[in-house]
Structure 1
Amino acid sequence: MSRASDRMYQSRLRSSNITVVVSIALVLFLLGLFGLIVVNSNDYAEHLKNQFEIEAYFKEAKDQRDIDKEKETHQAFVDSLRQRAFIKSVKYVNKQEALLIAKNQLGLKKEDVDLFEEGLFPPSVLMTIKPQYVDSAQVDSITKIISGYEIIDSVNDTSSLAGIYQRIDNIIYWLVGLAAVFLIISIVLINNSLRLKIFAKRFTIKTMQLVGAKRRFIIAPFVIQSFLLGLLGAILALLALGILWYYAAPKLHLSIWHNDFIWIIIGILAVGILIAVVSTFLASWRYLKLRTDQLYYS
């Protein structure tokens, strides 16, 4: 009869431990998923900002003297742009290159391109803007500055695109906020799972105290076990995240590894272990302070 009781107790203990580990792993997996989304959203937004370009088209020279020195005039203007604080890089596009770009964009064949008039597409300057200047107000200001030059005929309208990039930043801030909220929910859920586990052992804790065991001696095994359960749950969450990202990253055209992933790994391990240990310590300490009769309705 005693062996049957021991087996039943061990079975319940294993079931309780498995439930706690799975609960911790699931919560940390979802928290890590938020982290992956935030890190890669920020990375993708920065990538887009680094590719942000403004193209300005030169006026057509009508006077023969201006036509003769057109290339030198354009090159001097391009060189002056490189001194601007908002410019990351500048590229001069002559008429022949403009024709080839049009061909590629329109998907034309060589024989189709020959039908175009020579010089149909004007020369232009392609400016890549530094990421910190990519927002609607600053891009609009840059566009006005470039348009103000007498040599420039028109500048492509990119203010709406800059606005989209700015909204991506706002979305990232919301994601960070949601991740913080979910972290709080994670703490509450993991805490409740461990409190239920300690609640089931409250009589054991009180019995040990009544026979003279010190509080440190009573609490230590529970804390060590919770440390291991939290670590195991965190490792399972990281394994699940790693497998998910290994298959998802190539399909999303994102890199398998990002330098900020190390902070996600550290964060998940820290949250899993810290919450497990602190929750167990506080719950155990609470039952040590209660009277024996209070255990029945606590």
Structure 2
Amino acid sequence: MANSAKASLKRSKPNYIYSIVGVALVLLILGIMGWFFLNIKSVGNAFKEDIRLSAYLRTLNKDTIGQIQQFIAGRPYAKNVTYVDKNTAKQIWNRENNEDWAKILDVNPLPESIDFYAKASYVNADSLKKISDELMGAYGNQITDLQYPQSLVTNLNERASKIGLIFLVIAVVLCVIVIVSIDNTIRLAMFSNRFLIKTMQMVGATRGFIAKPLNVRALVNGLISSAIAILLLFTLIGWAESQFPQLRVIRDTKLTLILFFGLVILGVGISVYSTHRSVLKYLKMKLDDLY
């Protein structure tokens, strides 16, 4: 009985080809969506961390300036802390405004400053207000003000929140569609094996004996589908990064690996669950109902 059952299962293998390809394509779509979501977050963080904060100095004492610079560099929010003298400030202004006001003014009116960039998690109105209060509280006599583009920070956070919410809704809807699509694909593949399942039951095979090889096959198929989806997604990511080198700069390898691992878990989990549920369904059905 066992040998004939296994032989029957081997003969049914071609039925799984379409389900493997179908599940792989659905997982690929979900992977692309997940990759877009991760990159939008990374792009938003890159924009936030490109906003320069300038602590304008009242003092010209080099020792005091060095102390202030070390203080800011030691804070958890600060990145790329640099001292900007009057000549450097003039060069930055000319570069950003594409003009040279030295032809009009004989004196450089720009103050010296300590410029730095804040980590993305600190680039919001409340956190920057706390940073300003901290610096002014510690060096209020040496710093006149902490300046940054406030309107840009506000707009950037508002747009990031809206885009994040939109993608979250899309991701949830797409995830539901993916789960339903994979479930239907697996059930369709199992439909062609309904008579095999019922025949094994009629000749005395136990439920566990019938379900085990099918569940193992579902696990293997899920792994194959996930591998195909990950390979295709990896190829698409490589192509996208070759076309847009900026994507390579903001790539988070850890999050990308988590995305790949999630595709494996989803592909295997739904495949095994749908297969096992289909087996139990056909075992409970009467023979006449299979037609």
Quickly name the TM-score band, shorter chain normalised.
0.7 to 0.9
Displacement of 1:247 in angstroms is 0.9
* Aligned residue in 1 for 2:259: 264
For 1:267, the aligned partner's letter is G
Aligned length: 273
State the alpha-carbon separation in 1 of the partners of residues 162 and 17 from structure 2. 40
Matched, 1:76 2:64: yes
Larger deviation: 37-46 or 25-34? 37-46
Displacement of 1:132 in angstroms is 3.5
The answer on whether the counterparts of 2:69 and 2:83 sit within 8 Å (CA) in structure 1 is: no
* Aligned residue in 1 for 2:247: 254
* Aligned residue in 2 for 1:121: 110
* Aligned residue in 2 for 1:48: 47
The answer on whether the counterparts of 2:52 and 2:148 sit within 8 Å (CA) in structure 1 is: no
* Aligned residue in 2 for 1:213: 205
* Aligned residue in 2 for 1:95: 86
For 1:270, the aligned partner's letter is I
The answer on whether the counterparts of 2:69 and 2:114 sit within 8 Å (CA) in structure 1 is: no
Displacement of 1:137 in angstroms is 2.8
Matches within 5 A, 1:190-201: 190-201=182-193
Matches within 5 A, 1:137-152: 137-140=126-129, 142-143=131-132, 149=140
- Greater Rg over alpha carbons, structure: 1
* Aligned residue in 1 for 2:222: 230
Pick closer, same or farther for the CA change 1:95–1:81 going to 2, 3 Å: closer
Displacement of 1:240 in angstroms is 1.1
For 1:254, the aligned partner's letter is L
| CA RMSD in angstroms, aligned pairs only | 3.4
> Per the alignment, in what secondary structure is the counterpart of residue 60 of structure 2?
helix
State the alpha-carbon separation in 2 of the partners of residues 11 and 163 from structure 1. 63
> Per the alignment, in what secondary structure is the counterpart of residue 213 of structure 1?
coil
Which deviations, in whole Å up to 9, do the C-alpha atoms of 1:112-138 show, x marking residues without a partner? 857752424332332433443311233
State the alpha-carbon separation in 1 of the partners of residues 210 and 11 from structure 2. 22
Larger deviation: 145-154 or 130-139? 145-154
Displacement of 1:280 in angstroms is 0.6
Which deviations, in whole Å up to 9, do the C-alpha atoms of 1:34-75 show, x marking residues without a partner? 22123223333333344432224456xxxxxxxxxx521x76
For 1:291, the aligned partner's letter is K
Displacement of 1:192 in angstroms is 0.9
For 2:91, the aligned partner's letter is L
Matched, 1:166 2:140: no
* Aligned residue in 1 for 2:286: 291
The answer on whether the counterparts of 1:139 and 1:162 sit within 8 Å (CA) in structure 2 is: no
State the alpha-carbon separation in 1 of the partners of residues 252 and 148 from structure 2. 36
Displacement of 1:283 in angstroms is 0.4
Identity %: 27
State the alpha-carbon separation in 2 of the partners of residues 129 and 58 from structure 1. 19
> Per the alignment, in what secondary structure is the counterpart of residue 119 of structure 1?
coil
Larger deviation: 83-92 or 123-132? 83-92
Normalization by structure 1: what TM-score?
A: 0.76
For 2:82, the aligned partner's letter is K
The answer on whether the counterparts of 1:234 and 1:268 sit within 8 Å (CA) in structure 2 is: yes
For 1:224, the aligned partner's letter is V
Pick closer, same or farther for the CA change 1:246–1:86 going to 2, 3 Å: closer
Displacement of 1:29 in angstroms is 0.5
* Aligned residue in 2 for 1:189: 181
Runs of 5+ consecutive residues of structure 2 not aligned to the other structure: 1-9
Which deviations, in whole Å up to 9, do the C-alpha atoms of 1:71-112 show, x marking residues without a partner? 21x762663475465751543322111222233334468xx8
State the alpha-carbon separation in 2 of the partners of residues 122 and 242 from structure 1. 49
Runs of 5+ consecutive residues of structure 1 not aligned to the other structure: 1-9, 60-69
State the alpha-carbon separation in 2 of the partners of residues 103 and 161 from structure 1. 21
* Aligned residue in 1 for 2:5: none
The answer on whether the counterparts of 1:136 and 1:160 sit within 8 Å (CA) in structure 2 is: no
Pick closer, same or farther for the CA change 1:229–1:132 going to 2, 3 Å: closer
